[in-house]
A = this chain, B = another copy of it.
Amino acid sequence: MSQDRPIGVFDSGVGGLTVLQALRDRLPDEDFLYLGDTARLPYGTKTAATVRRYALNAANHLSAGNIKLLVVACNTATSYALDALAEASPMPVVGVVLPGVRAALATGATRIGVIGTEGTIRSDAYQQALSTLDPSIEVAATPCPLFVPLAEEGWGDHPVTDQIARHYLKDLLDWGAETIILGCTHYPMLTASLQRVVGPKVRLVDSARAVADAVIVEHADLVDVAAGGRGSVHIQLTDASDRFLRIATSILGVEPEHLTVVDIDGVA
């Protein structure tokens, strides 16, 4: 098994580029192959069976790209399909839930809130992982369906987003959440609004950096932490509308190079 093969990163769309950025910061010599299933997003409103089918299509497609490690940079796919992906994939699979949970526990909070898509919250993946790792922790979770469209609209620092966030987060704040896990890779784009609404004392945990740490710690044999910065990034999308390219550019800070459109419907 050669270490020279790329690391695969998969998301329903372009929100997972926040995770790719964190991985590149820590592993600048690695090559990355990113797949965003933009033709079928969002995953967060769809059923477990559909999300699992899509995630397996994506993993099979990336597997054919000879990746050495698969990072599932989508909370809904991790929540519904991590077990199925780990079972079906020849390479190790890292999800976003456990790293985010560990980062939240590291804040020392005893009341932890989780926000995410309807699918992620309904799956109970975060709630179960928190309770398993530390049964003394109190957990409350709430879905925030409008946050992904607001992030995609570029309204991460907008009065309307503040107002919607106050609506969604009211119960978590009244309950006394000390730390809130951003359980969706789009949500870091809303940090300005969210931090304003929760106030300076509540910690917002973004799992992107925690995922990069997990990859380095758990797969030290597979990754090269040298800092040469010679790594490449190839981005594949299942649909490349101007909208997604605009969001991708905003997350990456530059227009994506090496971008191709691929069809993964039914890839087995």
Contact = CB atoms under 8 A, between A and B. Distances in A.
A254 to B, nearest CB: 22
Interface in A230-268: 238-241, 243-244, 265-266
A46 interface: yes
A164 to B, nearest CB: 6
Contacts of A146: 146, 149-150, 153
Most buried by B among A40, A153, A266: A40
Contacts of A238: 50
A241 B50 CA distance: 10
B164 A241 contact: no
Given A167-B160, A266-B266, A241 B145 contact: no
A115 B190 CA distance: 26
A244 B47 CA distance: 10
Interface residues of A, number: 27
B152 A243 contact: no
**Most chain B beta-carbon contacts within 10 A, residue among A45, A148, A164, A266:** A45
Contacts of A149: 145-146, 148-149
B239 A46 contact: yes
A52 to B, nearest CB: 12
A213 interface: no
A244 to B, nearest CB: 8
A21 B265 CA distance: 32
Contacts of A241: 45-47, 118
Interface in A33-50: 38-40, 45-47, 50
Contact of A46 (B39, B167, B266): B39
B39 A50 contact: yes
A107 interface: no
Given A45-B243, A160-B167, A266-B266, 11 more contacts: A39-B46, A40-B40, A45-B241, A46-B241, A47-B241, A118-B241, A148-B149, A149-B149, A160-B160, A163-B163, A265-B266
7 contacts: A39-B46, A45-B244, A50-B239, A148-B149, A160-B160, A160-B167, A265-B265
Interface of A: 38-40, 45-47, 50, 118, 145-146, 148-150, 152-153, 160, 163-164, 167, 238-241, 243-244, 265-266
